[in-house]
Amino acid sequence: MDIPIDPKTLRHTLGRYATGVTIVTCRDAHGEPVGLTCNSFGSLSLDPPLVLWSLRSASPSMPAFLAAGHFAVNVLADAQVELSRRFASPVADKFAEGQWADGAGGAPVLAGCAAVIECARFDARPVGDHWLFVGRVLSLQEAPLAPLVFQAGHYHLLGEII
Ligand SMILES: Cc1cc2nc3c(=O)[nH]c(=O)nc-3n(C[C@H](O)[C@H](O)[C@H](O)COP(=O)(O)O)c2cc1C
């Protein structure tokens, strides 16, 4: 039997789980850059190398990601919190801030990140009220920078190693 789960309670409880913060990007069918702040990113498989993330079905970014053969996952450093806020809002020209270059398939890659994972789309399917995107990793970059952390609706600096 299904137990009714209140969406607000679900969001609140799942928000206790601390995550990193990414900006996932692609190029739309007209060649325009598209991206959004995303913390549903995760590792999926080592062989083949696969990662996943999910996008709200009603997102204005959806047509672009459905059309794009590639996406880039930019794992934000803690100094990039303003970019995280920018890419989580419906601002007109999100890419006017930050230093961006073209990655695989034209997906925008951000300078100064803790890591960048460039992917070819491996799978995309609707699951619940989101689409699940799976990417095959094409290239990896990393830098010894502290990552931005998100938990319980707030941004955090990474704590001490224990
Ligand atoms: C920390 C954080 C994580 C987020 N993670 C996701 C996510 O995984 N998937 C998603 O669809 N939206 C996520 N969002 C919301 C989007 O960033 C936000 O709705 C954004 O405006 C979507 O861009 P768009 O309106 O251009 O589609 C997140 C927002 C924040 C602040």
> Which tens digit of pLDDT belongs to each residue from 47-105?
999 999 999 999 999 999 999 999 999 999 999 999 999 999 999 999 999 999 999 99
Out of 36, 59, 94, give the residue to mutate to test ligand 1, the one with the largest number of ligand atoms within 8 Å of its CB.
36
- Whether 25 is in the pocket of ligand 1, judged by its Cβ within 6 Å, is no
Domain borders along the chain are 20-142
Model confidence pTM above 0.85: yes
How far apart are alpha carbons 25 and 34 in whole angstroms? 5
Q: What number does CATH give the domain 20-142? A: 2.30.110.10
Q: Which two tokens stand for residue 146?
A: 């502290």
